[in-house]
Structure 1
Amino acid sequence: MTRSEPSTEPGAGAAHRCVRQLRLVVEAEDYEQAVAFYRDVLGMPQEAAFAGDGEARVTILDAGRATLEIANPAQKRMIDDVEVGRQVAPRLRVAFEVEDTAATTGALVDAGAMQLAPPTETPWRSLNSRLEAPAGLQITIFEEL
């Protein structure tokens, strides 16, 4: 896999950067389980929590640096093949960088995630595992090697 340089196309310059934060909003049928999984087990610090009318609740967790990774269908298939050995990912998959993929994967499985693939070294020199996690998310846990 080759890496390209940052774009020099219009809109790519610092003067055009207007996005300050990426928030991924996920509906969770079992809200308490999802909050405990991502906050307490995965270790995402809680920034805020709000409650509203009709039992409405939201918890905002800090995910560190965020990126939006846009892949074409061939790249999505290749990542599935490398990480899992077969096509399993839905259109949206969330990846979390951690210090220790193996330990984090074990803790997440113990907390109720289903492991789809164990930690696997990728051609781009990261150690990735794939899980089905609370709130209906498929997640990749990775550490840079």
Structure 2
Amino acid sequence: MTDSDNSTVRQLRLVVEAEDFDTAVAFYRDALGLSEQAAFEADGDERVVIFDAGRATLELANPAQKRMIDDVEAGGHESDRIRVAFEVNDTAALTDQLASAGADVLAEPTITPWKSLNSRLAAPAGPQVTLFQ
């Protein structure tokens, strides 16, 4: 496929509604370190920030696999149907940093059966966040 092929997916963008927009922006930009790619405002109170989160993948898991991941990675803290996972250089340090920035740590860093170091957090604006290295 080429870039001009209409069926080629060029980007995966996850859109999250953030009630406390400024807190969420500070969390993902300042604490997690995502770089701002674009930001837009409209005449009313409409605001959006688009962050560059690196390479995107789509992971589909059946209910049994999701439950197993929740058990292994988060001590059984059940995630919603959608969870955001970020591959990072230092799971332990970033978990502490994000907790200091307002995230609730649901599970401290733990080695998984697939040999990654994962933690689970409840982050501002909704979806649970997994950090993995």
**TM-score, normalization by structure 1:** 0.86
Counterpart check, 1:47 vs 2:37: yes
Aligned to 2:116: 126
Cα offsets for 1:34-91 (capped at 9, x unmatched):
0000011100000010001211000000000000101100110110111112141111
**Match for residue 20 of structure 1 among 3, 10, 14:** 10
Counterpart check, 1:104 vs 2:94: yes
SS at 1:26's partner residue?
coil
Aligned to 1:4: none
Gaps of 5+ in 1: 1-13
Q: Percent identity?
A: 67
Please give the root-mean-square deviation of Cα atoms over the aligned residues, in Å: 1.3
Gaps of 5+ in 2: none
Counterpart check, 1:89 vs 2:84: no
Aligned to 2:126: 136
CA distance in 1, matches of 2:22, 2:119: 24
Aligned length, in residue pairs: 130
Bigger radius of gyration among the two: 1
Counterpart check, 1:31 vs 2:21: yes
Deviation at 1:104, TM superposition (A): 0.3
**TM-score, normalization by structure 2:** 0.94
* Structure 1 contact 77–87 (Cα < 8 Å) conserved: no
